[in-house]
Amino acid sequence: GELSNAWFMERIKSFTNGKHLWVRTIGSSVIGYLLDTIPFVLIAFLGTLTTRDLLLMIAFQYFMKLGIEVLFGTPMAYAAIRYLRRYVRLEEPVR
């Protein structure tokens, strides 16, 4: 999941010409969390839960991860970049 998240983030960065960080962080997470959550839940719980419970667990974990990214991860990325631009000289702009 993390590798696919990084790969999609790089692809989105190229597509948006390095702009719109929020599109990169959230957009790549949409794909990465799917590729992380589904296999994890299936490997850990297949055969021990009903199909309905498996699907509910996948949906709950997926949307909780995505919600955390939207509410905390992306704002923290913007704060970190703002801090770095203010207090650390960056050779290239981080968008």
Q: Sign of the C-alpha dihedral, residues 80, 17, 14, 65?
A: positive
Q: Is 25 exposed, middle or buried (0-12, 13-18, 19+ CB in 10 A)?
A: buried
- Banded model confidence at residue 73, pLDDT cuts 50, 70, 90: very high
Task: Work out the pLDDT band at 95, boundaries 50, 70, 90.
Answer: low
pLDDT tens for each residue of 8-29: 999 999 999 989 999 999 999 9
Query: Quick check: 35 pLDDT over 70?
Result: yes
pLDDT over 90, % of the chain: 77
Whether residue 82 is predicted with pLDDT greater than 60 in this model: the reply is yes
Least confident of 23-32, 33-42, 85-94: 85-94
The span from the CA of 73 to the CA of 40, in Å, is: 21
Cα–Cα distance measured from residue 86 to residue 71, given in angstroms and rounded to the nearest whole number: 23
Nearest CA among 62, 22, 18 for reference residue 39: 62
Asked if the model's pLDDT at residue 66 lies above 90, the reply is yes
* Whether pLDDT at 86 is above 90: no
40 Cβ contact list (under 8 Å, min separation 6): 61
| Measured CA distances, 23 to 26, 27, 38, 74, 87 (Å) | 5, 5, 23, 9, 25
